Chain A
Amino acid sequence: MTRKQRRLTMIGGSLAVLAVAAALVLNAMRDSIVFFSTPTMAAEKQIPPGKRFRLGGLVQPGSLVRGDNLAVNFSIADGSATLAVAYKGMLPDLFREGQGVVAEGALDASGVFKADTVLAKHDETYMPKDVADALKKQGHWKDDYGAKPGATAASAPVQGIAK
Chain B
Amino acid sequence: MIAEAGHYALVLALALALIQSTVPMLGARWGDPALMNVARSTALAQLLFVAASFTALVMLYVNSDFSVVNVFENSHSTKPLLYKITGVWGHHEGSMLLWVAILALFGGLVAAFGNNLRLSLRAHVLAVQGWIAAAFYLFILVTSNPFLRIASPPIEGRDLNPVLQDIGLAVHPPMLYLGYVGFSISFSFAIAALIEGRIDAAWARWVRPWTLVAWIFLTLGIAMGSYWAYYELGWGGWWFWDPVENASLMPWLAGTALLHSAVVMEKRNALKVWTILLSILAFSLSLLGTFLVRSGVLTSVHAFATDPSRGVFILLILCLFIGGSLTLYAWRASALKQGGLFAPVSREGALVLNNLFLTSACATVFIGTLYPLALEVLTGDKISVGAPFFNLTFGPLFVPLLVAMPFGPLLAWKRGDLLGAAQRLTAAGIAALVAIAVLFAWTHGGATLAPLAIGLAIFVIGGALSDLAERMALFRVPLAIAMARARGLPRATWGTAFAHAGIGVALIGIVCETTWNSEYIGTMKPRDVASVAGYQLKLDEITQRQGPNFREMIAQFTVALDGETLQVMMPSKRNFTTRDSSTTEAALLTRGASQLYVSLGDTNAEGAIAVRIYHKPLVLLIWWGPVLMAFGGLLSLSDRRLRVGAPKPAKAARALQPAE
Chain B residues contacting A31 (CB-CB under 8 Å) are: 388, 392
Q: Is the CB of A160 within 8 A of B344?
A: no
Query: What mask results when residues 79 to 91 of chain B are scored 1 for a CB within 8 Å of chain A, else 0?
Result: 0000000000111
Provide the residues of chain A in CB contact with B228, threshold 8 Å: 154
Chain A nearest CB, measured from B28 CB (Å):
34
- Contact in complex: B522, A70 (CB < 8 Å): yes
Report the nearest B residue to A33, measured CB to CB: B383
Chain B nearest CB from A57 CB (Å) reads 13
Binds A, one of B188-196, B324-332, B355-363, B634-642: B355-363
Which of B112-120, B156-164, B649-657 is the contact stretch?
B156-164
1/0 per residue, CB under 8 A from B, across A127-163: the answer is 1110010000000000001110111111111111111
Interface size class of B (residues with CB under 8 A): 35 or more
Task: Collect the chain B residues with CB atoms within 8 Å of residue A159's CB.
Answer: 90-91, 161, 163-164
Are A24 and B244 touching (Cβ within 8 A)? no
Contact A162 B290 (CB under 8 A): yes
Q: How far is the CA of A145 from the CA of B581 in the complex (A)?
A: 9
Interface positions, chain B 285-343, Cβ under 8 Å from A, are 289-290, 293-294, 296, 298-300, 302-303, 341-343
- Whether the pair A161, B522 counts as a contact (CB closer than 8 A) is no
In the complex, B604 has a CB within 8 A of chain A: yes
The reply to whether B344 and A10 form a contact with Cβ atoms under 8 Å apart is: yes
Contact A162 B173 (CB under 8 A): yes
User: Chain A 109-126, CB within 8 Å of chain B: the 1/0 string?
Assistant: 000000000000001110
The answer to whether A145 touches B392, judged by C-beta atoms less than 8 angstroms apart, is no
- The secondary-structure label for the interface of chain B is helix
**Residue pair B353, A33 in contact (C-beta under 8 Å):** no
Q: A163 and B248: CB pair below 8 A?
A: yes
Q: How many A-B residue pairs have CB under 8 A?
A: 194
Q: Which of B367, B573, B583 contacts A25 (CB 8 A)?
A: B367
Is there a chain B Cβ closer than 8 Å to A90's Cβ?
A: yes
Assess whether A6 is in contact with B397, with CB atoms less than 8 Å apart: no
Q: Does any Cβ of B come within 8 Å of A69's Cβ?
A: yes
User: Which residues between 217 and 242 of chain B lie within 8 Å of chain A, taking CB atoms?
Assistant: 225, 228-229, 233-235, 237, 240, 242
Is B377 engaged at the interface, CB distance under 8 Å to the other chain?
no
Do residues A24 and B601 form an inter-chain contact, with CB atoms below 8 A?
Answer: no
On whether the beta carbons of B344 and A9 are closer than 8 Å, the reply is yes
Which residue of chain A has its CB nearest to the CB of B575? A93
- Asked if B589 is an interface residue, CB under 8 A from chain A, the answer is no
Chain B residue contacts of A69, Cβ below 8 A: 522-523
Given contacts A32-B388, A154-B242, A159-B163, A123 and B364 within 8 Å (CB-CB):
no
A51-70 interface mask toward B, CB cutoff 8 Å, 1 = contact, 0 = none?
Answer: 00010000000000010011
Contact indicator per residue, chain B 576-594, by CB within 8 Å of chain A (1) or not (0) = 0001011110000000000
In the bound complex, what is the Cα–Cα distance between A35 and B353 (angstroms)? 36
Contact B579 A124 (CB under 8 A): no
A18 close to B (CB within 8 Å): yes
Q: A125-B300, A162-B290 are in contact. List 16 more A-B contacts (CB 8 A).
A: A20-B360, A32-B389, A32-B392, A33-B384, A69-B523, A123-B299, A124-B299, A124-B302, A125-B298, A147-B161, A154-B228, A154-B233, A157-B299, A159-B164, A163-B172, A163-B176
> Nearest 9 pairs between A and B by C-beta?
A160-B91, A32-B388, A36-B382, A28-B392, A90-B601, A21-B360, A155-B244, A151-B240, A124-B300
Binding site for B on A (CB under 8 A): 1, 3, 6, 9-10, 13-14, 17-18, 20-21, 24-25, 27-29, 31-36, 54, 66, 69-70, 89-91, 93-94, 104, 123-125, 127-129, 132, 145-147, 149-163
